[in-house]
Structure formats: C-alpha cells, structure tokens
C-alpha cells in the first residue's frame, strides 16, 4: 500500500508540474508576443552579453528572429539595392516635382485639374523626402540612429503619401473618364468645387492614415543584429499593434487596391469612347496606354503584396512575404519621380483641351 501511495503521489506531482508548465507557456505568450513583420519575440529575461541597447533609455529589445529575417536585414538587397534606388528617385524626383508644382501654381484658377496635379506633386515630394531618410537607414545596415519620433514621422509620411498618390491618380482617372465618356454631364458640373472637395478628402485620408503609425512604438533593438530597426520589426499581439495591423490591412484595400481597380475601369472606358470617336486620338491613346502600363507595374505588385502580407500576418502566419513586399514598395516609389514626365507627356498628346469629341453626332469641346 505504501508503494502504491508513493507511486500515485509521484504521478499526481508529475501531472501538476506538467499543467503548471503549459500554463506558464500560455501566460508568457500573452506577455511576450511575436513581432509584426519579421518574426521574433521579446526576451523573457534581461539580456546579457551585450544584447541590450547601448543605453538604458533605448528602444525595447527583440530576439529570436528567423535566419531568413536576419539574412534579409544584413543582405545587400536591403542595405545596398533598395537605398540606391531610393536615392536615384530622390535625385530625379524632387527637382522635377518642384518644377511642375511651380508651373501649375499659376494655372490653378484657369485649369481645374491643376489643383489635382499640384496635390499629386506635393504627395510625391513628401514621399521623396521620406525616401531620403529611409535610404540613410538602409545604408547604415538597417540601423536607425535617430529618435523614435523621427522614425514614426518618416514611416507615417512614407505610407501616407504612398496612399495619397494612388488615390490622387484615381481621382485624375475619374475626371478624365467623366470628360471623355460623359462630356455633357461633365460640362455642367461645378468642376472647381468638386475638385476642391476631392482634394480636401484626399488630405483627410492622408491625415487618418498617418495617425496609426504615430501611436505605436516603431523602433526596436534587435540583439541578433546589434542595431536598432525602424518599422521592420514590431510586436504583433500588443493591442496597439493589433490596431495598426487592422488599419494597414484596411488601408491596403481602400487606398491601393480600390484606386487601382477604379483607374483600370476608367482607362478601359476612356479607350472605348475614344475609339468610337471620329477624331484621331491615336497619339493620346498610345501615351495613355504607356502611362497606365507603368501605373500598373508600379502599383499592382505593391497593392497585392501589401494586402496578402497583412492578411498573412492577421492570420498568425509567417513573414515570408515581407522581403517581396519591400521590393514592390521600392518599385512603387519610382512613380513619384515619373509623375512629372507623365504630366508633360499627357499634356503634349492631348493639349489643354480635348476638341471635337463626337457624341451621338454632336461635337463638344471640353477642358481636360
């Protein structure tokens, strides 16, 4: 009986210890969540051996990144290729956008679309300025040497103006669609007022899109790399970062995928209307097709990967799409330095007015 009692006691102690072990794991999982974009976790005990930030006031520490994540953060793609492309976009895009902005400023009262193009130029300029700081971060080996507030501002400016550019291009496409496909209705619209409200809505969306980025911690000390990352690694299961994850997924749909669909539909409708016209629009159709093709090449990959990346993270998946997502974002940023050239191309192919649009046997001249 004594041996049986001791055996039962040992079994009970073993079961109790096992339950405590599993319960402790669940509790730690709640306290130390996985990062949002490149997977890892917060250390369960104070780091030793130089894994802490250089000073006690530095950002929180993260450990446990995957080998692929470390390879990406150390690799030449993120530390050489992407920042060089960013710098080229900055060098070309800032002077050209400032030039276009100065030229359009004198035509705001005369040409209704000038307000939209000015707004697009401002969005592109803010995006290009943020690219300069991101290039600096990448060239230092993905090491952020500025303050947390600067990282928040650059990240918010980067994504906010990316969304703003896509939405502005969609508004321009809608305006062209109305002018070509529904010229009589377009002629009666209060264009200046409509565009003013559209631009106001664009900047309100920009303001709303930057708020989530400003509310959460963006910089983390990565002990495996001995450096501070900006936006690349963030905890997923904190309530604040869950909110950011939901916001980014929503913005990916509303500010990238929806504008891309709207622009595509408008482009197809415009081409069909011009092909039915008695006027020769061959040059305009070719230039529009070129602009639309480059638009798709820039925004389609980032829109799709942006959506899939955050869906994957929302479902608790891995971060395998993050590298491709960053490459797509890099490609999309080239649009900021190409927009001024597209504006010149479209202006020369169409002129300041679209003359002799034939609609049911009636000629109508509408401003473009």
As given in the structure block, the two tokens for residue 254 are 């509303």
Q: Please check the confidence at residue 29 and state whether its pLDDT lies above 70.
A: no
Asked if 302 and 325 count as a contact pair (C-beta separation under 8 A), the reply is yes
- What is d(CA 263, CA 270) in angstroms, rounded to the nearest whole number? 10
Task: Decide: helix, strand or coil at residue 220.
Answer: strand
The domain spans of the chain are 70-350
Mean pLDDT, to the nearest integer, of 3-14?
44
Q: pLDDT-based confidence at 25, cuts 50/70/90?
A: very low
Residue 209: other Cβ atoms inside 10 A: 23
- What is d(CA 189, CA 194) in angstroms, rounded to the nearest whole number? 8
pLDDT at residue 348, rounded to an integer:
66
- What is d(CA 7, CA 299) in angstroms, rounded to the nearest whole number? 67
Q: pLDDT-based confidence at 148, cuts 50/70/90?
A: very high
Pick the CATH number of 70-350 from 1.20.1070.10, 1.20.810.10, 1.20.1260.10, 1.10.490.10: 1.20.1070.10
**Residue bearing the bigger pLDDT, 33 or 178:** 178
Mean pLDDT, to the nearest integer, of 64-92?
87
In 3D, which of 175, 168, 176, 170 has the Cα closest to residue 274?
176
Distance, CA of 307 to chain centre? 10
Residue 286: other Cβ atoms inside 10 A: 12
Q: pLDDT-based confidence at 240, cuts 50/70/90?
A: low
- Distance from the first to the final alpha carbon of the chain: 98
Asked if 225 and 233 count as a contact pair (C-beta separation under 8 A), the reply is no
Q: pTM score, two decimals?
A: 0.77
Angle at 86 between CA 80 and CA 89, to 5 degrees: 140
- What is d(CA 24, CA 12) in angstroms, rounded to the nearest whole number? 18
Give the E-state strand segments of the chain in sequence order: 61-62, 219-222, 227-230, 353-359, 362-367
Asked if 233 and 222 count as a contact pair (C-beta separation under 8 A), the reply is yes
> For the segment 276-327, what is each residue's pLDDT rounded down to a tens digit?
877 767 777 877 788 888 888 888 888 888 778 777 766 665 556 677 878 8
- What is d(CA 324, CA 305) in angstroms, rounded to the nearest whole number? 7
Asked if 255 and 163 count as a contact pair (C-beta separation under 8 A), the reply is yes
């Amino acid at each position: 009986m004594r041996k049986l009692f001791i055996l039962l006691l040992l079994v009970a102690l073993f079961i109790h210890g096992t339950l405590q072990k599993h319960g402790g794991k669940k509790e730690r999982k709640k306290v130390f969540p996985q990062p949002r974009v490149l997977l890892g976790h917060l250390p369960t005990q104070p780091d030793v051996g130089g894994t802490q930030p250089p000073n006690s006031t530095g950002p929180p520490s993260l450990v446990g990144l995957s080998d692929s994540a470390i390879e990406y953060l150390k690799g030449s793609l993120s530390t050489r290729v992407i920042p060089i492309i960013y710098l080229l976009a900055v060098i070309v895009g800032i002077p050209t956008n400032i030039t276009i902005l100065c030229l359009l400023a004198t035509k705001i009262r005369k040409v209704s679309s000038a307000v939209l193009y000015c707004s697009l130029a401002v969005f592109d300029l803010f995006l290009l300025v943020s690219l300069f700081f991101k290039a600096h971060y990448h060239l230092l080996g993905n090491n952020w040497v500025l303050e947390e507030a600067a990282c928040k501002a650059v990240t918010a400016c980067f994504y906010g103006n990316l969304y703003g550019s896509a939405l502005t291009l969609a508004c321009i496409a809608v305006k062209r669609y109305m002018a070509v496909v529904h010229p009589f209705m377009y002629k009666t619209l209060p264009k200046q007022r409509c565009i003013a409200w559209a631009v106001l809505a664009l900047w309100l969306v920009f303001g709303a899109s930057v708020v989530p980025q400003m509310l959460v911690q963006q910089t983390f000390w990565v002990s495996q790399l001995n450096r501070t990352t900006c936006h690349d690694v963030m905890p997923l299961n904190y309530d604040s970062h869950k909110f950011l994850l939901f916001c980014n997924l929503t913005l990916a749909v509303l500010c990238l995928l929806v504008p891309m669909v709207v622009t595509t539909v408008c482009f197809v409708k415009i081409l069909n209307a011009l092909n039915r016209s008695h006027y020769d629009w061959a040059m305009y159709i070719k230039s529009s097709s070129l602009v639309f093709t480059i638009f798709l090449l820039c925004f389609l990959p980032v829109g799709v990967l942006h959506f899939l990346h955050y869906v994957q993270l929302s479902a608790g998946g891995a971060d395998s799409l993050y590298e491709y997502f960053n490459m797509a974002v890099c490609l999309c940023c080239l649009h900021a330095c190409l927009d001024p050239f597209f504006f010149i191309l479209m202006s020369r192919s169409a002129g300041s007015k679209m003359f002799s649009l034939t609609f049911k046997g009636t000629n109508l001249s509408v401003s473009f």
